[in-house]
Chain A
Amino acid sequence: MLSDSERDRYARHLILPELGERGQLALKRGSVLIIGAGGLGSPAAMYLAAAGVGRIGLVDFDVVDASNLHRQLLYGSSDVGRPKLEAARERLLDINGEIAIELHPFALMSDNALELFAKYDVVIDGTDNFPTRYLVSDACTLAGKPNVYGSIFRFEGQVSVFDDTRGPCYRCLYPTPPPPALVPNCAEAGVLGVLPGIIGSLQANEAIKLIAGIGEPLIGRLLLFDALALRFREVRVTKQRHEPVTHLIDYEGFCNPMDINVKELAERIGRGDSLTLLDVREPHEWNAGHLDNALHIPMQQVPARVEEVPRDAEIIVYCRMGGRSARVQQFLQEQGFANVRNLAGGMLAWQRDVDPTMKVV
């Protein structure tokens, strides 16, 4: 039953014959897990909260940065420096205090995804990297949950609903991840602030339809949006044979086979293995904090200073998040360096998983 205050709040929903009280009650009993409380997660969470989805879970471990504010409307200027999920809960409960907000302030991993997904009806993929996108897809397949997918780049967005129980999954569309060196660094690529607002709202639309059981879900169709041309296109997505999904795997290794993760690097440094650590960040980033005994050559200077990099050594390239270092890794490989690995997640992952005292700017 809906309370009197809920009838007031959802009055414009209740008079829609397609939705009505039946649909609103379905939303109230429904639950959505949003992976990533960033550009896509912000509008998705806000619209789902306003629509009366009874339980919304958020997965994110980041803090609010000033550079988030041009697109992540869950947060305001006074939230900079706060954990995103704390600020998000306040904002969402201010929009609608009659729902439950559940916080999962950790990284989605292969060892926690299935247990988490089991508790929700629908999953929204609002992540910002390929390993987590494949993880979300596989976990949805194994858990039998619909994956409301959205992704963005500069002025473009893609939206679909992947549901292995009745249509294709993400792997049917993209069985193979792109080579890491072709994945642009998120900070360098840039994004139009309003774009995730559009794509994340479409994801909320699909989640609401799935829960309420109305309309035609975006299954088997990929919607492409171009903000500059202001054009929507649709292409067909067909169920395709691919590696069967039987369990969750190491997604960093799947997407970045020449990566090394921070824990493995810490172990190898601890063992005294012979490694050349190459820091390719800018001087102000290096000065804030860096790994002991690292060689420092900012990315742009690497071509001119390549002779400083020892050719016979095992080289571990790192930057803040792993994007610039992937490019340098590719460059060095093209120059004939045989053993170059990229530190997955960069110094932010090092700070999170190895050394919380490491200062990263």
Chain B
Amino acid sequence: MALNFVISGPLRELAGNRGEVRIDRSASSLAEALPLLWAECPAFRDRVVTELGELRPHLNIFVDGENIRFLDGFSTAVRDGSEIVILPALSGG
């Protein structure tokens, strides 16, 4: 069982400059999966969610290519092998 977090942009610094963080654990929802990432990369949580536990508005999270804002938010189901992309906007040109 594994989850693959894809880390983008300036957020990579919080994951030791890794673009992907694979976690060999299982989860049934994003709400269960994200704490596994927080445990691996503690600085991540505050950059991704607000004090109220909501997704910061300038970020998007995609589970298997679909934006969780159009699925079930943090209740969105994940499965073994799911790819979870945490995506900030990039400005460089």
Q: Which residue numbers of A lie inside 8 Å of B, CB to CB? A: 36, 38-41, 125-130, 133, 150-158, 173-179, 182-184, 186, 189, 191, 196, 224, 226, 228-229, 233-238, 240
A237 to B10, CA, bound (A): 21
- Contact (Cβ within 8 A) A182 B57: no
B residues engaging A (CB < 8 A)?
6, 8-10, 12, 19-20, 47, 57-58, 60, 62, 65-67, 69-70, 83, 85, 87-93
List the B side residues contacting A158 at CB < 8 Å.
90
Given the known A-B contacts A177-B58, A182-B10, A224-B87, are A236 and B65 also in contact in the complex, defined by CB atoms under 8 Å? Answer: yes
Known contacts A174-B58, A177-B89; 19 additional CB pairs below 8 A are A40-B93, A125-B93, A126-B93, A128-B91, A133-B89, A150-B93, A151-B89, A151-B90, A151-B91, A151-B92, A156-B8, A156-B9, A173-B60, A226-B19, A229-B19, A229-B20, A235-B60, A236-B66, A240-B70
In the bound complex, what is the Cα–Cα distance between A128 and B85 (angstroms)?
23
Interface centre among A40, A186, A224 (most CB of B within 10 A): A224
Contacts of A179 in B (CB 8 A): 58
Q: Is the interface of B mostly helix, strand, loop or mixed?
A: mixed
Complex alpha-carbon distance, A266 and B89, angstroms: 32
Distance (whole angstroms) from the CB of B34 to the closest CB of chain A: 18
Q: How far is the CA of A189 from the CA of B85 in the complex (A)?
A: 21
Chain A contacts for B58, CB-based, 8 A: 174, 176-179, 182
B8 to A: closest C-beta gap in Å: 6
Quick check: A183 and B93 within 8 Å, CB to CB?
no
**Nearest Cβ on chain B to A206's Cβ, whole angstroms:** 16
Contact status B93-A41, CB under 8 Å: yes
Q: Are B89 and A130 in contact (CB under 8 A)?
A: yes
Closest residue of chain A to B85 (Cβ to Cβ) is A235
Leading 9 A-B pairs by shortest Cβ distance: A176-B57, A128-B93, A151-B90, A178-B58, A153-B90, A235-B62, A152-B92, A174-B89, A40-B93
Residues on B with beta carbons closer than 8 Å to the beta carbon of A41:
93
Contact of A153 among B10, B83, B85 (CB under 8 A): B10
Q: Which single member of B6, B47, B69, B90 contacts A233 (CB below 8 Å)?
A: B6
User: Can you list 10 A-B pairs with a CB-CB distance of less than 8 A?
Assistant: A38-B93, A129-B91, A151-B92, A152-B90, A153-B92, A174-B58, A174-B60, A176-B58, A233-B6, A235-B85
Query: Which residue in chain B gives the minimum CB-CB distance to A221?
Result: B65
Tell me which of B8, B60, B93 contacts A196 (CB under 8 A). Answer: B93
8 Å CB contact of B90 from A39, A126, A156, A234 = A156
* Distance (whole angstroms) from the CB of B81 to the closest CB of chain A: 14
Contact (A133, B91) CB under 8 Å given A156-B8, A176-B58, A177-B58: yes
A173 to B62, alpha carbons, bound, how many Å? 12
CB distance from B28 to the nearest CB of A (A): 22
Minimum distance in angstroms from A132 CB to a CB of chain B: 9
Query: Which of B67, B69, B83, B91 has the most chain A CB atoms closer than 10 A to its own CB?
Result: B91
Which residues from A are CB-within-8-Å of B57? 175-176
Q: Which of B8, B88, B89 is the most central at the interface, judged by chain A CB atoms within 10 Å of its CB?
A: B89
List, in ascending order, chain B residues with CB within 8 A of A184's CB: 10
A153 CA to B8 CA in the complex, in Å?
Answer: 9
Q: Which residues of B contact A182 (CB under 8 A)?
A: 10, 47, 58, 88
Select which of A130, A157, A235 is within 8 A of B91 by beta carbon: A130
Which residue of chain B has its CB nearest to the CB of A130? B91
Bound CA span A158–B62, Å: 14
Decide: A224 near B10, CB < 8 A? Known: A128-B92, A235-B67: no
Report yes or no: B92 in contact with A39, Cβ–Cβ below 8 A.
yes
